[in-house]
Amino acid sequence: MGGEELVAIPTGWSDDGTRLTAPNGKSAVLGFRWHILTHAWAPDDWPLESEHYEPILDVTDPEHGDGIVQHFRKSILAWHENRAQVLELSSGAIALEWQQRAEASSGSRLGSSPDCLPPVEVMAYPGAVLPVGVAHVAAWRDINALAELHHSSYSFNLRAANAPERNAQLSAERLASLEKQVQMLISGLGAGAKPHEVARNIQDQVEMIATDSRASRRRESPLSNPRILLRWLLILIALLFADTLAWAISSLIHRQAALPLPLLALGTVALSAFFFFLRSIRPLSRP
């Protein structure tokens, strides 16, 4: 494990040397932490839970035996004491296997009524609740789409000048809070509760995250950025100094034929204002 080279800390994560923490507050430690740091790990592939012991690492391949498992949004990491490396299990195949088991289990309890909805199956599947025929699957799809939108805009802002990192961090915290509320909503459905308030909060969070993501893609106007104004002012001072120097040299060489200094300065200021105006009317958002 020590021979592998460090790739990078995923965007938005933090590492203190022993604990790698995702934006949702969950952490990876020891071998799982090192595996993430030495591989091209997706920034939005956050842990859903802490690592824990499982008697069966992979339900689709029982030969893996038991070991330590940690579930992420898009991945599953596993470790067995007899193996020298961390395993990346196929989360899609495992989820499908559990869903098929849930469908088989719920099908025997639906009865003869064709109008009854299949219940939510809470299986012994760590860190995930697998619904059968429930509408919140669309909510997860929207969340994943928002996550992709947020991280693409976050990456763009890091490359742009004066990137609003505070807004990007706020959006990451809201996205983490949103996922926790969706988990609460699913748990409430499984327990037969009526989590209408949680559903309303989720809708509000989705709207705020979408607004933050659109705003982070919008380029700030030069008039609203003090650094840009200061930069233009310094350029103007440098041009006026160059005008003064050019006028002095022209006066020494041509005497009376030199252009008046006020006229040169006025032309420089007018030209600078024209270019500043062109810069300010450029599109404020990337296509």
Tell me, yes or no, whether 245 lies in a domain: yes
The answer on 200 and 168 residing in a single domain is yes
DSSP states of 19-57: EEE-TTS-EEEHHHHHHHHTS---TT--BSS--EEES-S
Task: Go through 45-77 and write b for each residue having 16 or more CB atoms within 10 A of its CB, e for each that does not.
Answer: ebbbeebeebeebbbeeeebbebbbbbbbebbb
Residue 136 pLDDT: 44
Tell me, yes or no, whether 151 lies in a domain: yes
The answer on 226 and 207 residing in a single domain is no
The answer on 70 and 31 residing in a single domain is yes
Q: Domain residues for 259?
A: 222-280
Residue 13 pLDDT: 92
CB 285 within 8 A of CB 221: no
CB 217 within 8 A of CB 241: no
The DSSP element (H or E) to which 68 belongs, if any, is strand 67-71
Q: How many domains does the chain have?
A: 3
Residue 130 pLDDT: 38
The answer on 142 and 74 residing in a single domain is no
The answer on 251 and 207 residing in a single domain is no
Q: Round to the nearest angstrom and report the end-to-end CA distance of the chain.
A: 43
Residue 159 pLDDT: 45
CA distance 80 to 69: 9
Tell me, yes or no, whether 127 lies in a domain: no
Tell me, yes or no, whether 121 lies in a domain: no
Residue 119 pLDDT: 39
Tell me, yes or no, whether 147 lies in a domain: yes
The answer on 142 and 213 residing in a single domain is yes
Sheet containing strand 27-29, edge to edge, reads 14-15, 19-21, 27-29
Task: Go through 124-158 and write b for each residue having 16 or more CB atoms within 10 A of its CB, e for each that does not.
Answer: ebbbbbbbbebebeebeeebeebbebbbebbeebe
The answer on 185 and 252 residing in a single domain is no
Residue 8 pLDDT: 80
Residue 282 pLDDT: 52
Tell me, yes or no, whether 96 lies in a domain: no
pLDDT tens digit at each of 287 positions of the chain = 545 667 788 888 988 888 899 998 888 888 888 888 888 888 888 888 888 887 777 666 666 677 788 888 888 888 776 666 777 776 555 555 555 666 666 665 555 444 444 433 333 334 343 333 344 444 545 555 555 554 554 444 444 444 445 555 656 666 666 666 666 665 555 555 555 666 666 667 677 766 666 665 555 555 667 777 787 788 778 777 777 777 777 776 666 655 666 766 777 777 777 776 666 655 444 44
The answer on 83 and 18 residing in a single domain is yes
Of 179, 195, 217, the last residue of a domain is 217
CB 20 within 8 A of CB 29: yes
Residue 286 pLDDT: 46
Tell me, yes or no, whether 173 lies in a domain: yes
Of 217, 232, 260, the last residue of a domain is 217
Stated pTM of the model: 0.34
The answer on 233 and 274 residing in a single domain is yes
Which one, of 49, 58, 98, lies nearest residue 78 by Cα?
Answer: 58
Tell me, yes or no, whether 275 lies in a domain: yes
Joined together, the tokens standing for residue 272 give 């600078």
